[in-house]
């Protein structure tokens, strides 16, 4: 059964919330079959799937396309659509773009930063919103941990409070000190989802390519449960060798013949 924003809100302090990103139909189907609570169609797609240097190159059309693909693969999972860079530059623009993601198949939208006016405007028009503070890649000048100084930590806390007060039902905390994430989680009434923010958050999110080990390198706060890149390379090498040796498709024809006899 698909979880609603109210269901996720009710999970705070009761059931840890599992979240993975997904960008394609077959991967989304696997994630849903595994019972993961939430799928995030993140603007990370630009870097891990499209080869961009930054998430700032991702467009609304990109996110719409991937939300649609993921929805077809995971019809019964709560899907969050990421509002890409500048898609939420003002309340009216954000509402138009949020409605586009909802129409594409998202159940809620996520945006970065304490954009109080934007969040309030979306919520007042019935759009469930997930906030995001700490490291915010769309505007960050580096990918260093945020909140190491007392002034930075206080800023993150203030942003978290503002995002909750504006009406967000959930909050992503990215790459901040674990103790700070724990303090914010204890204070807020909405669930926190950590990515590089420690185990005291109400849930965790991981980029699916990082979990699969699909790529060249990964953030230090991610975990590789397998290394799919190695498997893909081996399959491609085996295929090339069989084609060059004229074993494929001859061996395939022999297999089909044996099965039909």
Q: Which of 174, 230, 241, 242 is catalytic?
A: 174
Q: How far is it, in rounded angstroms, from Cα 129 to Cα 123?
A: 7
Q: How far is it, in rounded angstroms, from Cα 203 to Cα 194?
A: 6
Catalytic residue status for 174: yes
* Cβ–Cβ < 8 Å for 21, 42: yes
Q: How far is it, in rounded angstroms, from Cα 193 to Cα 181?
A: 9
What is residue 105's DSSP assignment? Answer: T
**Element (H or E) spanning 5, and its range?**
helix 5-10
Which residues are the active-site residues? 174
């Amino acid at each position: 059964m698909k979880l609603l924003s109210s269901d996720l809100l009710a999970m705070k302090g009761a059931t840890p919330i599992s979240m993975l990103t997904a960008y394609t139909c077959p991967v989304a189907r696997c994630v849903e079959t595994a019972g993961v609570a939430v799928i995030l169609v993140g603007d990370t797609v630009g870097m891990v799937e499209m080869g961009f240097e930054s998430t700032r190159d991702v467009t609304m059309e990109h996110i719409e396309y991937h939300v649609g693909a993921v929805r077809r693969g995971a019809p019964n999972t709560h899907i969050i659509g990421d509002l890409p860079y500048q898609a939420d530059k003002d309340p009216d623009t954000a509402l138009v773009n949020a409605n586009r993601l909802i129409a594409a198949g998202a159940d809620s939208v996520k945006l970065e930063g304490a954009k109080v006016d934007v969040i309030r405007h979306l919520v007042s028009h019935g759009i469930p919103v997930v906030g995001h503070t700490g490291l915010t890649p769309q505007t960050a000048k580096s990918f260093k941990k945020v909140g190491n100084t007392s002034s930075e930590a206080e800023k993150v806390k203030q942003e978290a409070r503002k995002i909750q007060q504006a009406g967000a039902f959930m909050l992503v905390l990215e790459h901040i000190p674990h103790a700070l994430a724990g303090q914010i989680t204890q204070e807020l009434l909405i669930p926190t989802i950590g990515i590089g923010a420690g185990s005291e958050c109400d849930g965790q999110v991981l980029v699916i390519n990082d979990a699969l080990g699909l790529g060249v390198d990964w953030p230090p706060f991610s975990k590789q449960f397998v290394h799919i890149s190695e498997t893909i390379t081996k399959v491609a090498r085996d295929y090339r060798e069989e084609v060059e040796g004229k074993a494929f498709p001859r061996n395939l024809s022999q297999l089909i013949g044996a099965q039909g006899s």
